[in-house]
A and B are shown apart, each in its own frame.
Chain A
Amino acid sequence: KAGVTQTPRYLIKTRGQQVTLSCSPISGHRSVSWYQQTPGQGLQFLFEYFSETQRNKGNFPGRFSGRQFSNSRSEMNVSTLELGDSALYLCASSLVAGMGTGELFFGEGSRLTVL
């Protein structure tokens, strides 16, 4: 069973640019959530999608957005990049959304560097 696949694994952008990251969940999983991991802030929840609908959103500015397609693949977009957006962006999938499922399966992440 293939795991969660994130692309690209590494990318370098400059301030002001925008970036799109992709996540393919485990086959059959309908929930996809995104997290930002930085040394200073740790892992922070960005948003969660289930059946193409955003169910939850963390405390991030509107420059961070996402979407989910009918095949459960998800993309997140960051516009007008800032230096502080440099981070490892992790995607996680789960079979269903909701309380207690908790068994998130994570991808290896997309490491974004903003220069």
Chain B
Amino acid sequence: AQKVTQAQTEISVVEKEDVTLDCVYETRDTTYYLFWYKQPPSGELVFLIRRNSFDEQNEISGRYSWNFQKSTSSFNFTITASQVVDSAVYFCALMNTGNQFYFGTGTSLTVIP
């Protein structure tokens, strides 16, 4: 069974604080992909990152960084020096060998000016 868990339903931080969004996944597949998407108030999901199961290198893109740890089945997302524009719902997702996406329930991030 495939499952993605985002235990944090809502997070509020003050601008310029760092924030980490947690993602834990379950799959029996050895080959899979993990993703993060951002959903601003307008509704459409915006792709942020894709990571395959064989690449555990952490990635940094500007203020965004991702920590993939297979040992704990986690793919956490950190925003450094948060800004008001980062306010959105963030989804973690798993794509398995059946080519189906499994999304977490999302974490709503509010950055307070």
Contact = CB atoms under 8 A, between A and B. Distances in A.
Contacts of B106: 42-43
B44 to A, nearest CB: 4
Q: Which size class do B's interface residues fall under?
A: 20 to 34
Contacts of B44: 3-4, 90, 106-109
A97 B99 contact: yes
Nearest to B6: A42
B31 interface: yes
Contacts of A4: 44
B100 A99 contact: no
Contacts of A45: 100-103
B31 A102 contact: no
B83 interface: no
Nearest to A44: B103
B95 A99 contact: yes
Nearest to A88: B43
Interface of B: 31, 33, 35, 37, 42-47, 50, 52, 91, 93, 95, 97-106
Given A45-B100, A45-B103, 18 more contacts: A4-B44, A35-B101, A41-B105, A42-B105, A43-B91, A45-B101, A45-B102, A48-B100, A92-B45, A99-B33, A102-B33, A102-B50, A103-B50, A104-B47, A106-B44, A106-B46, A107-B44, A109-B44
